[in-house]
Amino acid sequence: MEKILFAYDDIFLKHDTGEHPENLKRLIAINSILSKSEYAEYIEKIQPRKADKTDILRIHDENYIDSVAKRIAEGDTWLDIDTNVSADSVEAAYSAAGAGLTCADKIISGEFRRAFCAVRPPGHHAEKMHSMGFCIFNNIAITAKYLKEVHGIEKILILDWDVHHGNGTQHSFYDDPSVLFVSLHQYPFFPGTGTKEETGAGKGVNYTLNFPMDAGSHDNDYFKAFNERILPEINRYNPDFILISAGFDAHAHDPLASINLSTNAFAEFTKMALSVAHHADGRVISFLEGGYNLEVLTDSTLAHLETMITF
């Protein structure tokens, strides 16, 4: 058994989006199911530190960071057509960005090897200059930069299995060979990026790998992509650290997409990621992204966490 970190802060519930699909009920549901796990004693709950502005600046433009704070302080409730905010959303976003940094520090110190960041707002759509798709700051990209610049990690894998393409994460590292970005996502679909022809630029060519999946794809379609392409590429890359954008909205019962994955698929994805984690001394941090049917979100999250503990 492997004890894992579970980074969470009540401030995430104060990011009040009302009846928006990405709402506080998601984390309430996830927290409520933890005690039901037979492995609950292996889940170490921690309160993350808030990211500093310096941490956010590694990915986002200062004018954007300042404009988010200003607009929310002035009472704006929408940063863009999809991203709803409230008075406490800035503080929540700084804490969401800090969760990965807190876990990174503890893992680098050798205290733990695996962590899950139960955060909101999510992050993988957030671009350098703007919010997008429910996301304010790109939590996983900020953590990757922190690992590189503060802890000297040379090669990082970012694996994104959210049903929506992680455009913000891709753009953050599109010309950077020190980050291998791998994404499986429904296509064509929001946000419109993520074709297989998008493979990177400059020195980063072939360090972005997109696997667009047709609507209606099921477990075996994803397993085939993992086994035939993704796992061999990860083994070839030999990463020093693994980060996962763990969205659970590719589930067959999720209301916002048209992929037909089972709950067990997320356990299998986790096993496959952990099967190559020996390259990274077992060091893995996953981040909550999408998942909007509360029942399957909690079941899928629990499957992910229990696999991190038992595999």
Active site positions, annotated: 125
Residue among 146, 171, 142 nearest 65 (CA): 142
The continuous run of DSSP H or E covering 172 comes out as: helix 167-172
- Cis peptide bond prior to 188, omega within 30° of 0: yes
Amino acid at 71: R
**Does residue 154 come out as left (phi exceeding 0), alpha (psi in the -120 to 50 range) or beta?**
alpha
Residues 6+ apart with CB under 8 A from 99: 7, 8, 9, 48, 117, 118, 119, 139, 287
Round to whole Å and give the CA distance between 16 and 9.
14
Query: Which of these, 73, 92, 76, 95, lies nearest to 84 by C-alpha position?
Result: 76
Sequence-distant (6+) residues with CB within 8 A of 44 are 3, 4, 5, 6, 112
